[in-house]
Amino acid sequence: MDSYFIITALTFLAAIFGYINARFLKLPTTIGLMLITILYTLGVFVLSYFDDTLLRAETDLIREIDFEMVLMDYMLSFLLFAGALHTNFQQLKVQRWPIMAFATLGVLTSTFLVGTAVFYLLSFMGTPVNYIYCLLFGAIISPTDPIAVLGILKKANVPKKLETKIVGESLFNDGVGVVVFLTIFSIASSKNATVTPMDIVTLFGKEVFGGILLGLLIGWVAYKLMKSIDDFSTEVIITLAAVMVGTVTAQKFHLSAPLAMVAAGLVIGNDTIRDSAMSEITERYVDKFWELIDILLNAILFVLIGMEMLILTYEVHYIVAGLIAIPIVLACRYASLFLPIKLFEKKLDFVPKTNLIMTWGGLRGGISIALALTLTNEMERDMFLVLTYIVVVFSILAQGLTIEKLVRRFIPKKE
């Protein structure tokens, strides 16, 4: 099955499901596409009891797609750049310290809390798993997904300064979460080799700070090039090249491509740089181009997430553990945000119930599934993939559909 056919099939499904959502359901795009895809996939399962031709064809299609590679190596950089490009830089600057605390201390705390809780849960259920593998699950499920968050918060009427915290945290904790996962993964994979604390610090520092510095450099170069000309078509291509070259460079030197693209997007999207480097028409075309890229890739991504149901291993104890994992993950996120919020809430005038809203608004998405797919069979891949999928689906459908009601309950007026 060639790549063009796969892309065509996914785009076709995204278009059809997107039409159904826009015409009838009128849900936020990410939620609508995922819900329709899941219902469609369940329909394929039911049909397979009479004729399994469609099920076999779609299973073959999904198995042909390396979800982890497609998302982490290709789609993620474009989506994060587009998200960062449209993030309010001035608000982000004001909230930078709590955002950094959420994205680092919060992710690390949540990783260990979730990992420990799931370790004891699985032991209680009679399926004990090595503690380091449970920590891997903690690292998989702790980062919130900026792709899911950005798409839903746009319609949730969240106060601007709270939206900035949630979006800013999601943009940065994605890259940090991937690095935490890779660090624990390297420890779990090392049978004979010894991983020292210095190795961990070096890997973390190189990936995180190296990625951010690379992104700042790429953003600055793109800004200089755009400032020296006034041609909207060429300037759009420069932003596209910045993402593609930046991603390849980050992968070549083992830096965090997600963090690099967030940094580059924030530099190019900064109001000061926009005013000095882009004409009004250029700014409009750049924004529209990246908005279209964002919509298209989001649509394909959430169709893919819904269709991943086809390759899961359905065991009763996996499903039970996944359902119990939902409140565990939410409780651990609430606990992980508690200290950073207490440190900054008075100084920065946090809105009421910030912790509760950030806990419920911290959605998980494709990044968690992609990381789960990289696990080996020895690391209980099948079980943790089911747990991850259940948490992600609940996060997007249940939390995504109710976050606006939660915001309205505690914050009647938009600030």
Residue 111 lies in a domain: yes
Domain residues for the domain of 203 are 67-300+329-410
User: What value does the mean pLDDT take over residues 3-27?
Assistant: 94
The residue ranking higher by pLDDT, 411 or 80, is: 80
Residue 194 has pLDDT above 70, yes or no: no
> How much is the mean pLDDT over the chain?
90
Residue 14 lies in a domain: no
The residue ranking higher by pLDDT, 20 or 272, is: 20
Residue 158 lies in a domain: yes
pLDDT in tens, 156-174: 667 777 888 888 888 888 8
Residue 306 lies in a domain: no
Residue 309 lies in a domain: no
The pLDDT value given to residue 39: 96
User: What value does the mean pLDDT take over residues 220-231?
Assistant: 96
Residue 407 CA to its chain's centroid (Å)? 22
CATH of the domain at 166: 1.20.1530.20
Residue 320 lies in a domain: no
Q: In angstroms, what CA-CA distances link 22 with 14, 141, 398?
A: 12, 30, 19
**Lowest pLDDT segment from 224-238, 267-281, 397-411:** 397-411
- Residues with Cβ within 8 Å of 87's Cβ and at least 6 positions away in sequence, in order, are 164, 167, 168, 171, 265, 266, 269
Residue 404 lies in a domain: yes
Residue 159 lies in a domain: yes
Instruction: Judge whether 29 and 299 are in contact, CB under 8 Å.
Output: yes
pLDDT in tens, 79-116: 999 989 988 788 888 888 999 999 999 999 999 999 99
Structural domain count of the chain? 1
Instruction: Judge whether 308 and 317 are in contact, CB under 8 Å.
Output: no
Residue 257 has pLDDT above 70, yes or no: yes
For residue 7, give both structure tokens: 């892309």
Residue 415 has pLDDT above 50, yes or no: no
pLDDT in tens, 317-369: 999 999 999 999 999 999 999 999 998 887 877 888 899 999 998 899 889 99
Q: How confident is the model at residue 234 (pLDDT cuts 50, 70, 90)?
A: very high
Q: How confident is the model at residue 260 (pLDDT cuts 50, 70, 90)?
A: very high
Closest C-alpha among 186, 203, 178, 183 to residue 372: 178
- The radius of gyration of the chain from alpha carbons, rounded to an integer in Å, stands at 21
